[in-house]
């Protein structure tokens, strides 16, 4: 009886030990995500990406074109009713956002955070860009079990978070806070409806929540390696 009692006491201890061993590290979560969307070999062959999206808003149908080019250039143009209403460009050093109410230039920490997040498959390049990722812990997102990671720029001046599905490894949510002339702005993006494009899984629906309100974007097409030029990302 004494031996049985000792054995029963050991069961929960062994269970706790097993759970501790199965909790992944931040690197393991990132590796699983990279594998889930296509694998390192396929992703490293992509040098530029052009993504066309659309959304329905108060101004009717909004068309969004996002371009990215290695190592750290990106742009996004938003058109409504055939008219450009916003443009954002990152040249690797600074970011300029312009619209109908003027333009705003981000430099330093705010720019580096945005640039790091807009690199093609940023998780693939975190190490080389000095981004440090840490596991915050398990977290439920829309009823799904996820692992939440926190990322910090090399100088420690900016952080943002991602949530990855514990089962599939896919990214389901991102959240970031940026500082501008109007103060801090937090944006949360939710990624759903992953589909394969040339062997790489891409979220076809992106829902963003910011102080400006919610916005759901549908990805209409994704094109890889179109031969984008550095001049496409020149800031004047």
pLDDT over threshold 50, residue 138: yes
Which has more pLDDT, 221 or 110? 221
pLDDT over threshold 90, residue 188: yes
- Could you state, in order of their start, the residue ranges of all structural domains in the chain? 24-233
Residue 185: pLDDT band with limits 50, 70, 90:
confident
pLDDT over threshold 60, residue 11: no
pLDDT over threshold 90, residue 16: no
Rounded CA separation 146/124 (Å) = 19
Mean pLDDT of 13-40: 78
Nearest residue to 121 via CA among 179, 162, 76: 162
Residue 182: pLDDT band with limits 50, 70, 90:
low
Distances (CA, A) of 115 to 122, 165, 224: 10, 25, 19
pLDDT over threshold 60, residue 137: yes
Query: What is residue 99's predicted lDDT score, i.e. its pLDDT?
Result: 77
User: What tokens appear for 234 in the block?
Assistant: 């020149």
Query: Helix count (H) and strand count (E) of the chain?
Result: 4, 13
Query: What is residue 109's predicted lDDT score, i.e. its pLDDT?
Result: 80
Mean pLDDT of 187-192: 95
Query: What is residue 180's predicted lDDT score, i.e. its pLDDT?
Result: 57
Mean pLDDT of 154-182: 88
H or E element at residue 202: strand 200-210
pLDDT over threshold 50, residue 10: no
Mean pLDDT of 44-67: 92
Residue 15: pLDDT band with limits 50, 70, 90:
very low
Q: If you average pLDDT over every residue of the chain, what do you get?
A: 87
Query: What is residue 18's predicted lDDT score, i.e. its pLDDT?
Result: 34
Nearest residue to 193 via CA among 179, 183, 181, 207: 207
Rounded CA separation 117/115 (Å) = 5
80 — phi, psi (to 5°)?
Answer: -130, 125
Architecture (CATH level 2) of domain 24-233: Clam (2.50)
Paired with 145 in beta bridges are 140
Q: In the chain, what percentage of residues exceed pLDDT 70?
A: 89
Q: pLDDT tens, 88-123?
A: 999 999 999 887 777 888 888 878 888 988 999 999
Mean pLDDT of 37-43: 97
102: left (phi over 0), alpha (psi -120 to 50) or beta: left
């Amino acid at each position: 009886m004494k031996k049985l009692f000792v054995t029963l006491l050991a069961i929960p201890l062994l269970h706790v030990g097993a759970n501790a061993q199965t909790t992944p590290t931040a690197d393991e979560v990132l590796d699983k995500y990279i594998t889930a969307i296509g694998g390192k070999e396929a992703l490293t062959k992509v040098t530029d990406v052009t993504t066309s999206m659309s959304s329905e808003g108060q101004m009717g149908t909004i068309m969004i074109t996002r371009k990215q080019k290695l190592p750290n250039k990106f742009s996004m143009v938003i058109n409504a009713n055939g008219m450009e209403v916003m443009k954002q460009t990152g040249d690797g050093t600074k970011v300029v956002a312009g619209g109908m109410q003027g333009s705003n230039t981000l430099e330093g920490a705010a720019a580096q955070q945005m640039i790091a997040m807009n690199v093609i498959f940023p998780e693939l390049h975190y190490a080389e860009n000095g981004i440090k990722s840490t596991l915050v812990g398990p977290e439920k997102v829309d009823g799904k079990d996820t692992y939440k990671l926190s990322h910090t720029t090399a100088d420690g001046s900016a952080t943002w978070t991602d949530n990855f599905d514990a089962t599939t490894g896919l990214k389901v949510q991102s959240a970031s806070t940026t500082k501008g002339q109007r103060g801090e702005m937090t944006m949360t993006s939710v990624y759903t409806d992953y589909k394969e494009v040339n062997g790489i899984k891409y979220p076809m629906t992106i829902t963003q929540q910011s102080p400006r309100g919610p916005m759901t974007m549908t990805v209409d097409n994704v094109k890889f390696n179109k031969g984008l030029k550095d001049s496409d990302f020149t800031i004047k």
